[in-house]
Amino acid sequence: MGIIAVLAAAAVAWVYGALHYMILSKPWMEAAGIPRGPDGKPQTGGSPLPFVLSAIAMVVVAGFMRHIFATSGVATPGAGLLSGLGIGAFFILPWIAINNAYGRKPAGLTVIDGGYAVVGCGLIGLVLTLF
């Protein structure tokens, strides 16, 4: 059952990420400094690599969060959601903020990417505890 929970949690976070970045695509591209063509789409090619890597990353994150939850006794949906939000807010968001600060990126990029990390980890935590 563990692999099913991990894959389901990863899928939910990945789909949420797709929605998050579709909704925030214009401000994200502006903050990330991605040049756009006249059609508003990125000028660079449409490589599937970022999508594949993000799916793999979600499986890795969900898998290790499952390990953390099992060793910490996180078992209820409320605890899973709260623990996931905490992992996103206190582990991942600060790391994104540091990278963006050193890269002289706008604060808006940190808000967009960090917001995805926090909510995505919260969703992973919630889904993991439903199994």
pLDDT (tens digit per residue) in 17-75: 999 999 999 999 999 999 988 887 888 777 899 999 999 999 999 999 999 999 999 99
* 87-104: average pLDDT: 98
Q: Where are the domains of the chain?
A: 2-34+49-128
User: Would the pLDDT of 85 be above 80?
Assistant: yes
What mean pLDDT is reported for the chain?
96
Q: What is the mean pLDDT of residues 71-93?
A: 98
Buried b / exposed e along 22-49 (16+ C-beta atoms within 10 A): eebbeebbebeeeeeeeeeeeeeeeeee
pLDDT at 129: 98
| Separation CA 80–CA 86 (nearest Å) | 10
Q: Distance (Å, rounded) from C-alpha 14 to C-alpha 41?
A: 21
Conformation bin of residue 37: beta by default, left when phi > 0, alpha when psi is -120 to 50: beta
Distance CA 120, CA 84 (A): 8
Does pTM surpass 0.75?
Answer: yes
